[in-house]
Amino acid sequence: MTRSSISVALYVALVFASGVTVGGFGHWLYASRSVSATSGRPSPEQYRRQYVSELQSRLKLNDEQVGQLQSILDQTGILYKQVHEKHRPEYKAIHEAQTNQIRTLLTPWQLAEYEQYRIEREERMKARAKRAF
């Protein structure tokens, strides 16, 4: 074989190896970077099921213990809701103070647009809350 035919064969092999490498990398990018249409955040029910399942398998809980765990989680959820409701007026007062401060710095046109924005935002939040439950 002549020197030029050896170099041609090496170049062909190099191009082939480069194609395999680029193809493999492209496939890896495609397979590992897929987009999910679901929300990345689990619902409270999904989170609770996963938490109970993990504790059950890792700690080898029996059925009675799982029932007691469910009861503890129910009681804790009630306490969280009570604390949240207790402090809700304080949160609301802070939010109203912020809103009033923002209103003072706006022009009449901006104020009208701001009020429209707040209405739209509140509707989106209500819709999102309905989907969560």
CA distance 44 to 62: 23
Q: Is 2 among the domain residues?
A: yes
What is the domain extent for residue 3? 1-32
The CB-side HSE value for 82 (13 A sphere, CA atoms) comes to: 6
24 in a structural domain: yes
Count how many domains the chain has.
1
* 12 domain-assigned: yes
4 occurs within a structural domain: yes
Residue 52 lies in a domain: no
Q: What is the pLDDT of residues 65-110, one digit of tens each?
A: 999 999 999 999 999 999 999 999 999 999 999 999 999 999 999 9
pLDDT band at 132 (very low <50, low <70, confident <90, very high): low
What pLDDT does 62 receive?
Answer: 92
Q: How far apart are CA 96 and CA 9, in angstroms?
A: 76
- Residue 64's Cβ-count burial label (10 Å; 0-12, 13-18, 19+) is exposed
Give domain status of residue 20, yes or no: yes
Specify the amino acid at residue 111.
L
86 domain-assigned: no
- What's the whole-model pTM score? 0.50
- The mean per-residue pLDDT over the stretch 46-71 comes to 91
How is residue 36 annotated by DSSP? Answer: -
Structure tokens at 133: 């439950």
Q: How far apart are CA 61 and CA 65, in angstroms?
A: 6
23 in any annotated domain: yes
Q: Tell me how far apart the alpha carbons of residues 97 and 119 are, in angstroms, rounded to a whole number.
A: 17
Q: Given this model, what pLDDT does residue 102 score?
A: 93
